[in-house]
Amino acid sequence: MKKHCVLVSGGAGYIGSHTAVELVEAGYDVVIADNLSNSEITAVEGVRRITGVEVPFVEVDCCDREALRTKLFDRYAFDSAIHFAAFKAVNESVQKPLEYYRNNLTSFMNILDLMRATGRPNILFSSSCTVYGEPDRQPVTEETPRKPATSPYGNTKQMCEDILRDTVNASEGMKGIALRYFNPIGAHPSALIGELPRGVPQNLVPYITQTAAGLRECLSVFGDDYPTPDGSNIRDYIDVVDLARAHVAAIRRLIEGKNRSAYEIFNIGTGNGVSVLELVHRFEQANGLKLNYRIAGRRAGDIIAIWADPTRANEELGWRAERDLDDTLRAAWAWEKHLRGIE
């Protein structure tokens, strides 16, 4: 049986590196591509250490079509691609909309164009629950209407979904899946890879762990006046390893031709809504720590609450979230301690 090769663009990033590990351990060959603009080569080294495989790495900007063609498409025989390469901070996108549109759309269109031109059929897109905007009811299913995005980041996810749908429907033999995932947190149990933000973290858990490690003086909780039980935002926090396994299940579905149509969508979440303040307290309890935090004003682009109905992914992909939240928060702290040399 032919061993399939998968391109992971943005594979030195947080979700990409964990997905590369799960792909290798599931028996796939993997090629990682990344421009290292918001990631580190140490993530690729971590993937290699965990898997024991010298996974190829190509430093390339997905916005550079010619470099993609010569460095990747002319050299590697992958038939599937998972596209992660994108800018990803909701509030930063509000401040820098042009940078987000230029980077996130151009990079994905270049990958799609080259996949089509070279007859490589399977595309998996890293989408987001941000496409639902502020939903009218919870949990959200794949039939929940998309709403106007509350941030340019969310808008790029909506636009890329549409670009993928229209491209595979117009291209014989091409198949695409968009995974709409919720809030990935945690780290690999080995503590060899995890979330590695540059500068001030844009996501909650790295800010929590950096505060616990003493790198940040105080954690800001953005708003305690939302219409939720404790006044803070509610999200569906999913372990990054569980999320990575969902990508393996989706790639397998494409390769085996089990997709029901050329374009499919799946929600990838736990189905449980957890508030920001609850997550802070769960981290403290799971790790036996006390965090210094304060309530700050609301943040631009944030919605009140969202969590997933993952039934379709459970039934169609044969996948479900398995990791316990406390274990996930312990893994996040173990990763931070590994980074900082904390015993």
What amino acid positions are annotated as catalytic residues?
153
Residue 173, Ramachandran bin (φ over 0: left; ψ between -120 and 50: alpha; else beta): left
Distance CA 58, CA 226 (A): 44
CA-based nearest residue to 90, from 44, 152, 35: 152
Q: Which of 155, 109, 142, 145 has the alpha carbon at shortest distance from 263?
A: 142
* Side chain identity, residue 314: N
Residues 6+ apart with CB under 8 A from 62: 9, 10, 33, 35, 68, 83, 85, 106, 107, 108, 110, 111
Q: How far apart are CA 204 and CA 232, in angstroms?
A: 12
Strand partners, 244: none
